[in-house]
Chains A and B, each alone.
Chain A
Amino acid sequence: MQTAATPPRVLGLYDQPFWDLLAESGRMHLQCCSACGAWRYPPGPACHECLSPDCEWKPITGTGELLSWIIFRKQYLPAYPAPYNVIAVRLDEGPTIISNLTSDPTLDDSPIGRRVRLTVARMDDGVALPRFEFADR
């Protein structure tokens, strides 16, 4: 059966290492500023804190806190039949990332503020995608 392709990623000059490192190592890496230590997401050419161009791609802990969640009731994309969830997570390193929860957030009275942990999902077309699961249960 032909399955729908993962919706297109924005693949600018600085995005490619993010996806390559995730697929190769099974861990999410982010740029860490060599001058001030600030973590960067989405990837980019300069540190938003100190403007330094120097950085190192480093693995992150993959833990964080769930900031918000929604349920799509209407289908917009072939790869995502409704219903499905989207969440916002504040990584312990600082940046916020938009992703999915691997379980149903409506089963929890108040998922906001819960601890989550990164897991790498493999999409039908082979794309590795960082997602999150509850870490405190």
Chain B
Amino acid sequence: MKSLKRVAAVIGVGHSDWVGDWTRVRAGERPDDCYGYAASAFRNALADANIAREKIDGLIVGPTTAYERMAEVLGMNVRWGDQADAVLSVVQACMAIESGQADIVALVYGNDQRSVGTQYGGPQAMGGDQFLSYVYHSPWGMTSQGALYALMFRRYSELFGISERDLGHVAVAQREGSSVNPNAIQRKRITIEDYMAAPYITEPLRLFDYCLINDGGVALIIAEAGLAKTLSPKPVYIEAVGRYDLNKGATSLEPRLTDFYRPAQQAVAEQIFGTSGLDPKDIDVLQVYDSFSVHVPLALEGYGYCKVGETGRFMREDGIGLAGRLPTNTSGGHLSESYMQGWNHQIECVRQARGECGARQIENCRRVHYTSDVAGKAVSIIYGA
């Protein structure tokens, strides 16, 4: 079976000052625009990789900025370019490297969603042009992506016996990680009681089930594996990638309400564990795209970290915190570190695999699984030291 196993490795990561910019934006300032945040992240990634910009021959730009303008701002003429979201950027970079289109690819993302007031619910809801379900049901008052996950979680909880209190373990565990992460925006630890006492936004989801909305940028530099070894003292290899989409009935939420994304995740699990020769027991840290807490229990059972219907017990008893059986979203994720639409998770995967996470470092971390399942499109990467 053909695969992208250890074709490429991450040699540099960087991000903007999420915490400082959060404070400034909350005070009414506009510290930067989306291109500026990306440029700041890119400078940091170049410094981390210790390479010159001129060595880079491929560029992938995130979906929130225009490709050409971003490349112009960064002063980059390249022989290969593309535009993609966080997880697909990594996949595309590996594909470009494997097919010889590029040797060293920069992945750059910037977003000024907080300071420009991007709306994720209401009449101007973002993403409606890409996902019809985000806007189609608004005549009935159905709006905001959180509400889609609330509707999904209600049925899931009733069918599979996971309670609202069980779900609270996601927010509590992620705050444990963010409390010892100097890059995290929300660092105050919370208890299950704090979680339960917080107001519902769309019942059954509460305040702490929702991600932050903040400004910032992220950049990664990915090199062909042989080159990576000569350029970096600690390359972090992409061990496996996989994808499966559930699109049938997507506008009326079938993949969420009937399948809970599970068939997609199971198909991706077969791809990533099959091609890498690894299995869930070999994964030291899990990172899950968490626009809402609900993504975490779905991923735990979808990828076989626990049995179907056992996520409540798994989170409660085995644990997903720093000392748990499967530390998950150790940086605090979108809920508590920074909402960089999956990009900050890639950095955390790399830093955990390098052993650079300080007080939140998981001991002997060798392999990190990242997964995203937005709207039933399941995509995963396994990173390895």
Contact = CB atoms under 8 A, between A and B. Distances in A.
Interface in B207-255: 248-249, 251-254
A108 to B, nearest CB: 12
Given A10-B132, A42-B132, A88-B253, A73 B200 contact: yes
B141 A73 contact: no
B254 A96 contact: yes
A42 B122 CA distance: 21
A81 B140 CA distance: 12
A98 B132 contact: no
A36 to B, nearest CB: 15
Interface stretch (B18-26, B152-160, B350-358, B374-382): B152-160
A9 B139 contact: yes
Interface stretch (B27-35, B143-151, B279-287, B311-319): B143-151
Interface string B113-140: 0000000011100000000100111111
Contacts of A73: 199-203
A71 B154 CA distance: 10
Contact of B202 (A74, A96, A100): A74
A71 B203 CA distance: 5
A96 B147 contact: no
Interface in A83-137: 84, 86, 88, 95-100, 110, 112, 127, 129, 131
Contacts of A10: 132, 135-136
Given A68-B155, A69-B154, A76-B122, A99 B140 contact: yes
Interface residues of A, number: 34
Nearest to A74: B201
A41 B203 contact: no
B138 A7 contact: yes
Nearest to A100: B140
Q: Among B135, B199, B204, B252, which residue has the most Cβ atoms of chain A within 10 A? A: B252
A127 B141 CA distance: 14
Nearest to B200: A73
Contact of A100 (B141, B143, B200, B253): B141
A7 B248 CA distance: 26
B84 interface: no
Q: Among B122, B140, B143, which residue has the most Cβ atoms of chain A within 10 A? A: B140
A80 B155 contact: no
B76 interface: no
A100 B140 CA distance: 6
Given A97-B252, A112-B155, 17 more contacts: A6-B139, A7-B141, A41-B252, A48-B249, A68-B152, A68-B154, A68-B155, A70-B204, A73-B199, A73-B200, A84-B141, A86-B141, A88-B155, A95-B252, A96-B249, A96-B254, A112-B158
Interface of B: 121-123, 132, 135-144, 147, 150-152, 154-155, 158, 199-204, 248-249, 251-254, 257-258
13 contacts: A7-B143, A9-B138, A48-B249, A71-B202, A73-B199, A77-B141, A77-B143, A86-B151, A88-B257, A97-B252, A98-B142, A98-B252, A112-B154
